[in-house]
Amino acid sequence: MKKFVEFGIYGLIFLLPWQIRWIFKVGKINGGASEYLTYSLYGVDILLIGLLILALVYFRKSIFTGKFLTSINRYMEVKLLLFFLFLGLLSIFWAENKTLALFREGQLILALSFFWLCANFAKTSKLAFAFLFSLIIPAVLGLWQFFFQTTFANKWFGLAEHKANLGGTSVIETFSNGIIDGRWLRAYGSFDHPNIFGATLAIGLLTTLVLFLKLKKSGEKIPYLSFFYFSFVILSAGIFVSFSRSAWLGFAIGAFFVAICLFFQKNFVDLKNWIFGCLLIVVVFSVMLSGYHDLVGVRIGGSTRLESLSLDQRAIYLGQAETMISKNSILGVGIGNYIPTLLKSNPNNQVWTYQPVHNVFLLAWAELGIFGMLSLVALLGSLFWRFGRKSPISGALLIAILPMLWLDHWLWNFHFGIIFFALIFALVAGFSREEKV
């Protein structure tokens, strides 16, 4: 049974990028559909629940004797996670939309269960390989979307269509003589947004670099190394065409952190291989940059119409969050209830204007109060103190997600983001248990 659960976890990770779901209640705001009020059951949820039941059956003896709770409760990180869940459960009582709050709490419990399954049943290297394999097809799909500037919808793979000529689609506008001469579709891959696509590939690339180092240590030759070279090219190009600034930044600071750690550890063999892998990625970026430097300039400059509009909207969302926090700073508005509370205070706007603040820490503060936000910060700090100091890659993964936490919201209120958060924690804990990178 243990092996069945273990390989079930790897299968779940492989399926994770594909957002197959049953929408059993569409959230509506003033006649328009809102993802933040929608209730869905994802395919990976069904698999996760099944694996969790099997795992509990496997541990049934220790559960009944009390050894189970003793074994998981000795770590500070577990206590912080349980406290976090307790705050979410408590917040249901004063939430504007109690059903939604209960649903979101259930998603957090599933994510914590996924982390527990990975920590107890999965082998870290196999977990990392499963994660790498899961990204190859979405990365190829993202490259196809960008180069052909088109997407397609498929309900069986959880894919939505995104047209560059329609509002709401993530695009980059280019100008000639002050006139718009192009709308370039950013790659979505199999995800809901290019930022999610890019961030996932950024974490995947860091993980691939670690596996590459381990392979070099083992002395394995072709075809294994050929697969890694292929992965470097595909994932690097995929991050590029996502045009996600937070993903670019996250990968860069994560890779730099590992290099610095290896240098001070005087681990020059691994440092040489790490730099070699990073140089391959730089070469891919340089090739892509030579053909699309104007698009990168738009994303970095931030002065064009759409980029300025995006910054203005983020400023509005920040102001809304500050207002909400000032009124509910201690207890918060209830887990998952940021949008319902925003709707209550501004009931007549168009559906697309109801967006969360693009900062997970502020979002946690708004929904769970000051103690919820502090427990999240304490959890990240505790993970870095416990695991990041032992393993450079564990520290790098935690550092790499900071731009995504600070500049976006999907790691908090998207189904994939919550599960992905749990996967990162599992990799962080797992890599620290192995020998140093």
Over the stretch 216-254, which tens digit does the pLDDT of each residue have?
Answer: 777 666 567 888 999 999 999 999 999 999 999 999 999
Q: Considering only residues 63 and 353, tell me which one the structure prediction assigns the higher pLDDT.
A: 353
d(CA 362, CA 113): 25
Q: Report yes or no: 246 and 194 within 8 Å, Cβ to Cβ.
A: no
Residue 194 has pLDDT above 80, yes or no: yes
pLDDT at 47 (0 to 100): 96
Over the stretch 151-193, which tens digit does the pLDDT of each residue have?
Answer: 999 988 889 899 888 878 899 988 776 667 778 999 999 999 9
Residue 69 has pLDDT above 50, yes or no: yes
Q: Mean pLDDT in the chain? A: 90
pLDDT at 301 (0 to 100): 80
Query: Please, what sign has the CA dihedral across residues 27, 32, 36, 42?
Result: positive
Q: Report yes or no: 248 and 239 within 8 Å, Cβ to Cβ.
A: yes
Q: What is the mean predicted confidence (pLDDT) over 335-343?
A: 96
Q: Which residues have C-beta within 8 Å of that of residue 287, sequence separation ≥ 6?
A: none
Provide the token pair at 126. 């196999």
Over the stretch 385-437, which tens digit does the pLDDT of each residue have?
Answer: 999 888 999 999 999 999 999 999 999 999 999 999 999 999 999 998 775 44
Q: Are strands 39-42 and 21-25 parallel, antiparallel or unpaired?
A: antiparallel
Domain residues of the chain, as ranges?
Answer: 2-433
Could you tell me the pTM of the whole model? 0.93
Residue 21 has pLDDT above 90, yes or no: yes
Q: What is the mean predicted confidence (pLDDT) over 145-154?
A: 93
pLDDT at 214 (0 to 100): 86
Q: Where are the alpha helices (DSSP H) in 160-266?
A: 194-218, 224-242, 245-264
pLDDT at 220 (0 to 100): 61
Query: Please, what sign has the CA dihedral across residues 337, 340, 342, 345?
Result: negative
d(CA 142, CA 136): 10
